[in-house]
Structure 1
């Protein structure tokens, strides 16, 4: 009877460890949204009004340093830079890093909303953004069949 009892205790301990690991992973966030939330200072007063999904953060570091840190951990599907800032597109989210004295402001938002809000900066580079962040650039006849 002791060997069966040992396996039961070990199984319960493993299940508990798995639950704790999942809670830890989910609470710290994954992807670029979680990375930004965990590494930069939240600045709710800089959130874009009218977009409940938008979160603004600040950093004392310059735009290039912030972008380097984010892209070293999470490689974007598309990256566009102009005089106003750097625009990173991921499958579901977009990260926009702009200069703000002293340092940078980082906006994390839904990719579709970012496309609508920053279309004049990213329209020629991101293409049309679908509901799942896919880019449509005019595939030929029969595509997707």
Structure 2
């Protein structure tokens, strides 16, 4: 009986540890990190007293993007379900979080050639014609 209790306790403790590791490993979205670390100034728009490069490092450290684009006008991070724009704003930064289509349209002049997809929509498709990549 005692062995069963100890074994059950170990399994339950292991389950809790795995859950905590999954939560701490970045299971949340970039937007949830941004919401909790920067001041909200509008719908999907936040403010940081730090310059764009510092803000981008902070966000990327917490949630790695699929792709990044750097431009003198700002830094753009592409995630599966959101696009983050980090733009200079005085001595700090303005951070926008948008869904992929809206983010692509908003920042097309900066990321269009890099992130453009079918009909100008953001795309993760990287395929070619017949026989390519086979």
Task: Check whether TM > 0.5.
Answer: yes
Distance (Å, rounded) in 1 between the aligned partners of 2:39 and 2:45? 9
Shift of 1:133: 5.0
Distance (Å, rounded) in 2 between the aligned partners of 1:135 and 1:79? 16
Shift of 1:102: 2.8
Counterpart check, 1:118 vs 2:116: no
Distance (Å, rounded) in 1 between the aligned partners of 2:55 and 2:130? 41
**What are the Cα deviations for residues 41-74 of structure 1, in whole angstroms up to 9, with x where unaligned?**
101x4x4xxxxxxx00000011111000000111
Distance (Å, rounded) in 1 between the aligned partners of 2:123 and 2:62? 20
Alpha-carbon RMSD: 3.6
Partner of 2:96: 107
Shift of 1:140: 1.8
Structure 1 residue ranges without an equivalent (≥5): 1-9, 11-16, 48-54
Tell whether the 8 Å contact from 1:90 to 1:133 is kept in structure 2 after alignment: no
Change in 2 beyond 3 A, CA 1:84/1:131: closer
TM-score using structure 1 length: 0.67
Counterpart check, 1:134 vs 2:131: no
Shift of 1:88: 0.5
Tell whether the 8 Å contact from 2:83 to 2:100 is kept in structure 1 after alignment: yes
Shift of 1:134: 2.0
Counterpart check, 1:38 vs 2:28: no
TM-score using structure 2 length: 0.72
> Which of structure 1's runs of 4+ aligned residues deviate more than 3 A?
129-133
Tell whether the 8 Å contact from 1:84 to 1:98 is kept in structure 2 after alignment: yes
Tell whether the 8 Å contact from 1:76 to 1:88 is kept in structure 2 after alignment: yes
